Amino acid sequence: MRRKTLLYFDTAEKIRGYIVSEKLQPGAFLPPERALADEFGISVVTLKKALKFLCEENILTTVPRRGTRVNSISFNEGASVCRKRRIGLTVWENTDIFHTDTVSHIALSGSLFPAESYEIVMVYVNASMIYAGTWGNLLPSDLDGMLVTVQELPDAMLNELKTASLPAVFIEHENFSPGCWIDEAPGVFKLLNYLISMGHKKIAFVSGPAPLAMVQKQLRAFKSFAADKKLFHDERYIVSCAYERKSAFVETLRILELPSPPTAILLGSEFMAQGALDALQSKGLKCPDDVSIASFGGGVLSQQSYPQLTVLTTVFNQSPGLFSVGAQMLRNILEKGEAGASLIVERDLIVRESTALRHR
């Protein structure tokens, strides 16, 4: 929802409050638009938009040449008017709004923050902000809380949030509290042990962007286990790229064209796994008959893929995912005054159709 739209809704709430505080009865008229706009310190255009919302709810009616009449008010007389809390959700500007992670976060926000009490505001983060290392004046000033999910944020910007008066929960930013993050090693070990048990010795890893702290943890775990188990070693088996289907397609294709290609590939996300499946198809290979595919993730896309993806996930056995845990943590801070804490979770392995016994 755009911030202008939030401004109109906020103004509508002020008008509701004005009706209650002035004890205007059904049939009474509001003051002239100019006077009411001055009362709230807003433009007449903004006021008109807010009045339109209330007319659509049948709280007000516009009477030609007379003004705006009160029909009803949804508050009981004397009831307090509470503004909805605004929750900022960080979104990486270079990522399409329909990216699976973004869509998932928006959908979860809608279910975790009741609409009658909360509004979700998209807070876009771009490369210029990261280069500057500061939020500057781009952080909305009317937020009540923030869920910090963008992994590209540098420590300087994270620390800026910690020292601000804005309550924030950090998701997948290790050692920033309150927040929650993943210990990647146990999950990676589970997956690789499983693949080895299925006869795979040549296992590749196409990770997300290497500079991200979460990816660094995944890479360290993968390299450590591969060395410990003496898996087939080829430096070209480990590559990093953007969390994009096309990028994963290109890198997977490159790996498949090696003199000794892998029999199993781990992808940094289920979205990237779609690119890997595209690469297999372009080479005339089948999953999992020729190459097994697994990924980090575990959202809806992994279940809708063909074949369904084997995944390392934090969403299992009806347990809430990391985003849900962080969202509930923020609600507890806002509603119960809790101080917040740090929570470290591990990924679980869900085996599906995309992995099988090695056949070649």
Mean pLDDT over 222-228 rounds to 93
The per-residue pLDDT for 72 is 63
pLDDT at 97 over 70: no
Is residue 317 very low, low, confident or very high in pLDDT (cuts 50, 70, 90)? very low
- CATH class (in words) of the domain with range 3-70: mainly alpha
CATH number listed for the domain at residues 85-182: 3.40.50.2300
H helix runs in the chain, sequence order = 3-21, 33-40, 44-56, 100-112, 127-132, 155-163, 184-197, 213-228, 245-256, 270-282, 300-304, 322-336
Report which of 231, 228, 255, 222 is spatially closest to residue 241, judged by C-alpha positions: 255
The per-residue pLDDT for 263 is 96
Choose the weakest-confidence range: 87-101, 134-148, 213-227, 259-273.
87-101
- Give DSSP secondary structure letters for 19-70: HHHTTPPTT-BPPPHHHHHHHHT--HHHHHHHHHHHHHTTSEEEETTTEEEE
343 DSSP β-pair partners = 180
Q: What is the mean pLDDT of the chain?
A: 85
The per-residue pLDDT for 95 is 64
Is residue 3 very low, low, confident or very high in pLDDT (cuts 50, 70, 90)? very low
The per-residue pLDDT for 96 is 57
Mean pLDDT over 313-322 rounds to 64
DSSP state of 119: E
What is the distance between the alpha carbons of residues 209 and 324, in angstroms, rounded to a whole number? 24
pLDDT at 77 over 50: no
Strands 60-63 and 67-70: antiparallel
What is the distance between the alpha carbons of residues 325 and 48, in angstroms, rounded to a whole number? 40
Residue type, 147: L
pLDDT at 98 over 50: yes
Is residue 2 very low, low, confident or very high in pLDDT (cuts 50, 70, 90)? very low
The per-residue pLDDT for 78 is 43
State what percent of residues in the chain have pLDDT above 70. 90
3-70 matches 183-315 in fold: no
Report which of 108, 89, 21, 26 is spatially closest to residue 59, judged by C-alpha positions: 26
pLDDT at 211 over 50: yes
Choose the weakest-confidence range: 10-24, 28-42, 97-111, 130-144.
97-111
Token digits of residue 136: 């500057």
- CA 216, 217, 221, 224 dihedral sign is positive
Is residue 268 very low, low, confident or very high in pLDDT (cuts 50, 70, 90)? very high
Mean pLDDT over 173-191 rounds to 92
Q: Would you kindly state where each structural domain of the chain is located, as residue ranges?
A: 3-70, 85-182, 183-315
Is residue 337 very low, low, confident or very high in pLDDT (cuts 50, 70, 90)? confident
The per-residue pLDDT for 140 is 75
Between these two residues, 17 and 157, which has the higher pLDDT value?
157
pLDDT at 75 over 50: no
The per-residue pLDDT for 138 is 74
Residue 180, φ and ψ in degrees, nearest 5: -145, 140
Choose the weakest-confidence range: 64-68, 157-161, 275-279.
64-68
Query: Does CATH number 3.90.1150.180 belong to domain 183-315?
Result: no
Strand, coil or helix: what is 218?
helix
CB count, 10 Å around CB of 189?
Answer: 17
Between these two residues, 291 and 53, which has the higher pLDDT value?
291
The per-residue pLDDT for 360 is 66
